[in-house]
Chain A
Amino acid sequence: MSTGIGARVQRKEDKRYITGKGKYTDDVRNESQAYAAFVRSPHAHANVNGIDTSAAMAMDGVIDVLNGQQLTGDGIGNIICGWAITSKDGSPMNMGAWSALATSKVRYVGDAVAVVIAETQALARIAAEAVEVDYEVLPAVAASDKALAGGAALIHDNAPGNLIYDWEIGDGAATDAALAGAAHVTELAVTNNRLSPNAMEPRAAVATFDECDDHYTLYTTSQNPHVARLVLSAFYQVAPENKLRVIAPDVGGGFGSKIFIYPEEITCLWASMKTNRSVKWTSDRSEAFITDAHGRDHITTAKMGFDAAGKIVGFKVDTIANFGAYMSLFSSSVPTYLYATLLSGQYNIENIHCNVRAAYTNTVPVDAYRGAGRPEACFLVERMMETAAREMGKDPTDLRRANFVQEFPHQTPVIMAYDAGDFGANLDQAMAAADVAGFAARKAESAGRGKLRGLGYSSYIEACGIAPSAAVGSLGAGVGLWESAEVRVNPVGTIEVLTGSHSHGQGHETTFAQIVAERFDLPLENVSIVHGDTDKVQFGMGTYGSRSGAVGMSAIVKAMDKVEAKVRKIAAHVLEASEDDIVIEGGQVKVAGTDKAMGWHEVGLSAYTAHNLPPDMEPGLKEGAFYDPANFTFPAGTYICEVEVDPETGVTDIVQFTASDDFGTIINPNIVEGQVHGGIAQGIGQAMLEQVVYDDDAQLVTGSYMDYAMPRASDVPSFSVHHASTTCPNNPLGMKGCGEAGAIGSPPAVINAITDAIGSNDLAMPATPQAVWNAIQAAK
């Protein structure tokens, strides 16, 4: 069986995951391990007038109780947002100070004010409750529109009116003019509901300070350990980079929430130095709900204008984004360059204008979550297309086709330049697979049983493979978004690949090995993937934004190019042939057309014995490469959702969900389908179940699985997943990325289907049975 590109290879890493033998951060137990528990604010907004730690300090087994004054006193820096956004008036964004432990004011329920270090985890938690904090409660606000309205509580002094930035993209005047001249204008108000990321493994950190070497080791649940080290070192001044090793071992899912550097990691490192003990913290699920960065939370109004033929003439969007109480690492980029730049959808739109206001509120910080900005854009565009089609009495697929981008490359008015795609092919494939032609009969059959059947489309596009470093740099990013790889051929011919990408469930140990095994025609088990340790791997940027294939694997390809060139030189020298005649095949390196050959392992051995190398060649067979992409990649496709609604209860059953994706080259269909299944399940979760709810005092109401509804297997159908691919012209493997598409493309398909079924367009996410029933009642 082939194990190369396109092969359905079983995942190498699953044996340890499935048998419970994975090594996660919480599995790390050091000699005389100490444990941290955080003292967290029960108030959404309060001044901290004093902290009395005496009762906690008096408890047997409590090592120390540390607070924010001590932390800042030791020179630990504030947590920063790494992407600078400039308001339309030219002013910089208003970033308020965020100390890992609050010093004088708490700004959301869960904000940490102190940390207890104790001999056991249970004791640390009990002692944390014994810490008495004198809070002076202040008025609080949770909703972004209320935070920006006059009179709301001021959360950060340097962000008047709680406004972080007021940003725009596109030509406002031209868009207004286009809308004024439009034959039809569709208006829509949508809310993109706030979500809690809920990775299966909660966040954790084990920090160990070595007094003799003045060195720190941090095990942590990170999607990007090198970036964590850089930020911990350069901005938070925990330790210089050469004195800090960050290891992200097995990580149980991230969905974005483990990109960011949180107060807990910083505090554990610092506390380890203060107490001279290894300090461990593991979040439980309740703590995760109030500390892991949330996702989405947009309020948007929009207008789309059409000419008499149904051609889009202009699209105007006004969005408020809720940032929570502090600006998390990439928060500022999500509702700007990851959102507004995708508002052209799959369509040829000449005029687009989007205004975004970012607001501080007394809630958990909001940052990137699977899709990050693109789901919000896709939801708006695809709800808009479906709504407009209904208003104009057009078939929603006809309206889409009439506006599809047909020629590539295509420059949108909002920065992105689409490089390749065939949107019509995906729509055709999805419609055929979903048997759209038979829908009317199925609807009639449902009606006979008193049920309402509906069909909804979503033709999504997104931007992955983030991203050309110079381009993102010019837009305000604080880092470059290239990726690195090192390919080490050992003396016996086996291969280790060191990658700056980080796998937290994606299956890199399998797919990355597949491209190496294919390239050198070697058995898959001869290739091992190393990642997640700053002491082992050269600098890397980590995994998010579906970048590990398009960027991470491209770096591996570039390193393999260099290895191959050296292999050819060595073999040509030893076999006395021309480099051009060398073929690598079947575990051998051969001279074409002759019977001269050496084993692949013999080339490795030659490189390391160095007894007979070409003159001036260095010994060894190990090459590194950094790959900086030329463009984003643009996965796209069409999703079709078919639902049946019980009008008596509002219960919606997804009877069929069909996906046709264009991901470019597919390395392992098993893994790609798994990504699509998980993504759609998350998208269905957003569309029908999930919602973070705060009450009027900014207390979190959905703080556990008793109230926060995650999708279960029984909530999702058996997916019908298809591929109609075009090759991405901008990377060596032709890959586009598949990690987020499902979560991006599915929510509008679901809502378009339900609104089709119930004959009312007034339905917000999550479309719970109650929400659907209410919409049915209101439409009566």
Chain B
Amino acid sequence: MYPTKYHKAASIDDAVAALGAGEEALVLAGGQTLLATMKQHLASPSDLVDIRAIDGMSGVSTDGDMLVIGAATTHAEVAGSADVQRLCPALAGLARGIGDPAVRHVGTIGGSIANNDPAADYPAGLLALGATVVTSKRQIGADDFFQGLFTTALDDDEVITSVRIPAASRAGYAKFRQPASLFALVGVFAAQGAGGTRVAVTGAGEDGVFRHVGLEAALGADWSAAAAGGVGVASEGLLADIHASAEYRANLIGVMAKRAVEAS
């Protein structure tokens, strides 16, 4: 690892100031992605701004039937939260299925969505549930937040502070694990609520997480596994790599969509 300067931010303003001051400063949350890339010399930030100790950054609360999850809340905390289990059990299940116990007890929801790995789980959940990302500057709807592989709407000096997730009347998540990494080879999150029927797919898109229009239409008309299974999923625009061809991913999207509905 290259030398770097560590800051423990006391407030959001403090964090934003440190981000602006550093030559190439980055937010540090659980470090489950960032530290690994630094160890491999793939990233060499001049400064790390740890946001986990900032008041109000961690924990789950509710605002009516809206879930409010602090950016530094770990996957294990989300999985174990009674509020999440009550208002959106599919999201608790998603968090429970991330990585392994070590990762779940350190990795955070803010880090996961800021990183926007094309195979990460949370982006599918947030996109399907119509969540809003709250930052040090503004509020960004999930549809605008995720902008392609490892790309988001965030500015360099912008810190995610929380995520607001409206409760869904029905929601299910089905994940097919890539055998080596256990990330999503394909993950489908299907939800129905005030925002209509939304189906988000992770792991499969050439441009990262995306909504599947055909599945949304079919499930909007008939929320059933059979309806999901009846949608022909095309392989255009899907990723192909050593773990799966675009055709296999297309097949898995259909199967996972069925299973997500069954799980809802």
Contacts and interface: CB of A to CB of B under 8 A. Distances in A.
B40 A770 contact: no
B248 A770 contact: yes
Contact of A705 (B2, B180, B242, B252): B180
Interface in A687-708: 689, 693, 701-702, 705-708
B245 A770 contact: yes
Interface in A247-300: 286
A705 B181 contact: yes
B139 interface: no
Contacts of B248: 770, 773-774
A194 to B, nearest CB: 13
Contacts of B135: none
A649 B252 contact: yes
Contacts of B244: 770
Interface residues of B, number: 17
Interface string A701-722: 1100111111000000000000
Contacts of A649: 176, 251-252, 255
B181 A768 contact: no
A689 B242 CA distance: 12
Contacts of B41: 125, 129
Contacts of A706: 180-181, 183
B243 interface: yes
Contact of A707 (B1, B2, B181): B181
B1 A122 contact: yes
Contacts of A768: 179, 243
Contacts, number: 42
A129 B243 CA distance: 31
B242 A701 contact: yes
Interface in A484-538: none
Interface in A757-776: 768-770, 773-774
Contact of A126 (B2, B176, B245, B252): B2
Nearest to B186: A649
Given A707-B242, A773-B248, A648 B179 contact: no
Interface in B167-193: 176, 179-181, 183
A705 B2 CA distance: 23
Nearest to B229: A648
Nearest to B179: A709
Contact of B255 (A286, A648, A705): A648
Interface in B207-264: 242-245, 248, 251-252, 255
Contact of A702 (B2, B40, B242, B251): B242
A150 B252 CA distance: 41
Given A649-B176, A649-B252, A707-B181, A770 B243 contact: yes
Contact of B179 (A125, A129, A286, A689): A689
A227 to B, nearest CB: 34
Contacts of A710: 180
A286 to B, nearest CB: 7
A643 to B, nearest CB: 16
Interface string B1-37: 1100000000000000000000000000000000000
Contacts of A707: 180-181, 242-243
Contact of B180 (A129, A709, A774): A709
Contacts of A125: 41
Contacts of A129: 41
Nearest to A123: B3
Nearest to A707: B180
A243 to B, nearest CB: 38
Nearest to A129: B41
Contacts of B180: 689, 702, 705-710
A693 B242 contact: yes
Interface in B16-73: 40-41
A753 B1 CA distance: 46
A705 B245 CA distance: 20
A708 B179 CA distance: 9
Given A648-B255, A706-B180, 17 more contacts: A122-B1, A125-B41, A126-B2, A286-B40, A649-B255, A702-B242, A705-B180, A705-B181, A706-B181, A706-B183, A707-B181, A707-B243, A710-B180, A769-B179, A770-B248, A773-B248, A774-B245
Interface of B: 1-2, 40-41, 176, 179-181, 183, 242-245, 248, 251-252, 255
Interface of A: 122, 125-126, 129, 286, 648-649, 689, 693, 701-702, 705-710, 768-770, 773-774
Q: Which 10 residue pairs across A and B have the least CB separation, nearest first?
A: A709-B180, A709-B179, A706-B181, A770-B248, A648-B255, A693-B242, A770-B244, A707-B180, A689-B179, A649-B255
16 contacts: A122-B1, A286-B40, A649-B251, A649-B255, A689-B180, A693-B242, A701-B242, A702-B180, A705-B180, A705-B181, A706-B183, A707-B180, A707-B242, A769-B179, A770-B248, A773-B248
